[in-house]
Amino acid sequence: MKAVIQRVSKASVTIEGKQVASIKNGLLILLGIINEDAQEDINWLANKIVNIRIFNDDSGVMNTSLLDVKGDAIVVSQFTLQASTKKGNRPSYIKAAKPDIAIPLYERFVKQLEKDLGKTIQTGQFGANMQVELINDGPVTIIIDTKNKE
C-alpha cells in the first residue's frame, strides 16, 4: 500500500461537477493498493498517518500530528501510484490491484483511519474520474509505502 499525504489548509473532490468531499485543515491522502496488501498494511499505514508529526506546534516546528490538531482527512483512491516506469514511456499499472481486491481494502483502510482518528473520513469515489483541488500547506508532501517500513 502506498500513500501520498499532503498537509492542506483546504482540499476538495469533485465528480461530474458535484463536490463530494471538502475539508479545511488536515490531510489529503492519495492511496494506491497492490494485490499483496493486507490488513497488516492497513493497520500500520492508518496508524502512521494519524500519528506522523507534520503539523506545526506553537513554536512553528513540525511536531504535532493529525490527531493532535484534530484535523480532517480526505482519502482518494489512485491506482497510478503503483505505476512502473522502468521500460519505455508508457507507465505500466500491472502491480495495481484490480477493483475486486482494491475496493474492499480501500474501504477497510478508510474505516481503520476513522477508528484511529476518531472521526468520519471523507472520500472520493473509487474508480471515478475526480477533480481534486488542494492548497498544500507548507508545502508538505510525504510518501509512505508499507513495503518499505524499515
The pLDDT score that the predictor gives to residue 69 is 97
Q: Which helix (H) or strand (E) holds 55?
A: strand 55-56
Q: Which three cell numbers stand for residue 133?
A: 483541488
Tell me, yes or no, if 78 is annotated catalytic: yes
The pLDDT score that the predictor gives to residue 35 is 95
User: What fold is seen in the domain 2-148?
Assistant: D-tyrosyl-trna(Tyr) Deacylase; Chain: A; (3.50.80)
The pLDDT score that the predictor gives to residue 38 is 97
Which are the contacts of 46, defined by CB distance < 8 A and separation ≥ 6? Answer: 109, 112, 113, 115, 116
Tell me, yes or no, if 123 is annotated catalytic: no
Domain range annotation of the chain: 2-148
pLDDT tens-place string over residues 44-71: 999 999 999 999 999 999 999 999 999 9
The pLDDT score that the predictor gives to residue 149 is 80
Residue of 14, 39, 64, 80 marked catalytic: 80
Tell me, yes or no, if 109 is annotated catalytic: no
Average pLDDT, the chain: 96
Distance CA 28, CA 66 (A): 11
Residue of 79, 82, 123, 146 marked catalytic: 79
